[in-house]
Amino acid sequence: MDSIWIKGGAKLKGEIPISGAKNAALTLMPCALLTEEKLTLTNLPRLADVDTFSHLLNQLGVSTSVAGVKKGEFGRRMTLHAEEIVSTVAPYDMVRKMRASVLVLGPMLARMGEATVSLPGGCAIGDRPIDLHLKALECIGAEIELAAGYVKATAPKGRLKGGDYSFPVVSVGATENAVMAAVLASGKTQLFNAAREPEIVDLCNLLVAMGAKISGIGSSHLVITGVEGLHGTTYEVMPDRIEAGSYACAAGITGGSLDLIGARPDDMRATLNALAQCGLIVEFHNRGIKVSSDNGMRPLALSTSPFPGFPTDMQAQFMAMLALAEGDSFLEETIFENRYMHVPELRRMGAEVDIHGRSAIVKGVEALTGASVMATDLRASMSLVLAGLAAEGETEVLRVYHLDRGYERLEEKLSAVGATIERRSAG
């Protein structure tokens, strides 16, 4: 099994190109199920999760072809063609690998009038039930049955009929599934307290480009007027705001200066505000965002919340960075109950972190020390890489398959800005 080896201590300087967003890509790909025509996605990141989702779509009858890119370029161009759906069942052996697989439920139900999807798997960061997905689909006419670990959804008379649903709590995945289901329903659907994440805006923009009628994009009140059919299109995946934020933390923790090429400030204001409060210099330019650090870091008080709040997907990276801040920081995790699994590994490197339920106190230390550590989930693994970049000595991060799910060619990008980092294969 591969590991990432890092020799810490270098101040990172230079440019890092920001890849297409993983969380957007996994939402845009199932839109191919909504039309018989071809959907081409550009700036698609080369990630294990994208490949896994592609395999799932292949099983349902979607053909996928990838255009080559020049050496040194990032992102891919994938054409998806669901001319004929050959199966409406997403089996356990595929869905268990990745929670986002449940996003085939809405579009398959909308087009075929039925869908059977295994209850999902994914990162071990807490209980993430799909009850809100199912309740939203029921409000737009779906009949839901749960049996033997599967969700079987059907549309009476073969077509969903539209309706209103108010989410009791904000849910990104449930909003995405409901929007994709509603675009082909008869009549009008209103979603209240819908998630507002940039990835949902990206989804709605793609669907509109395919012929859908959606108003309120970017707000918590989405109105979808169903259409008879959608057509194909070509669409560019948005830049990854979490990858950009992660590399911004790399500049902070190493005392460096990084230009994040392609990053969009409007997608990540809460992250950028937190970086500035921490004492980093954040500058905008026509190619992206520059983040610099030269005077140490101040402690922070942060609480995760749905967009436009501070993202839960940035909590672990900030914790690693704040381990070297001058003072005590306070973090509160409000989204997932099990998202401090990186803490024992950071402690192995000398971080001082006290956990009290969903709260964490990070006491800044003078230095971190390299160690052999084990990744537990995607963002936790990045926090360990960040710690390794700043630590004295050598760090080895094990279980890097987590990293491969969400960071495109990480070693290559970090090496180009001065890090001593390489991937090593066991045996």
177 has binding-site annotation? no
132 has binding-site annotation? yes
409 has binding-site annotation? no
28 has binding-site annotation? no
242 has binding-site annotation? no
152 has binding-site annotation? no
129 has binding-site annotation? yes
Task: Name the catalytic one among 31, 123, 204, 249.
Answer: 123
23 has binding-site annotation? yes
Q: What is the 3-state secondary structure (H, E, C) of the chain?
A: CCEEEEECCCCCEEEEECCECHHHHHHHHHHHHHCCCEEEEEEECCCHHHHHHHHHHHHHCCEEEEECCCCCCCCEEEEEECCCCCCCEECHHHHCCCHHHHHHHHHHHHHHCEEEEECCCCCCCCCCCCHHHHHHHHHCCCEEEEECCEEEEECHHHCCCCCEEECCCCCHHHHHHHHHHHCCCCCEEEEECCCCCHHHHHHHHHHHHCCCEEECCCCCCEEEECCCCCCCEEEECCECHHHHHHHHHHHHHHCCEEEEECCCHHHCHHHHHHHHHCCCEEEEECCEEEEECCCCCCCCEEEECCCCCECHHHHHHHHHHHCCCCCEEEEECCCCCCCCCCHHHHHHCCCEEEEECCEEEEECCCCCECCEEECCCHHHHHHHHHHHHHCECEEEEECCHHHHCCCCCHHHHHHCCCCEEEEECCC
313 has binding-site annotation? yes
71 has binding-site annotation? no
**Among this protein's residues, is 123 annotated catalytic?**
yes
Binding site: what residues are annotated? 22-23, 99, 128-132, 313, 335
Binding site for UDP-N-acetyl-alpha-D-glucosamine: what residues are annotated? 99, 128-132, 313, 335
Binding site for phosphoenolpyruvate: what residues are annotated? 22-23
Active-site residues: which are they? 123
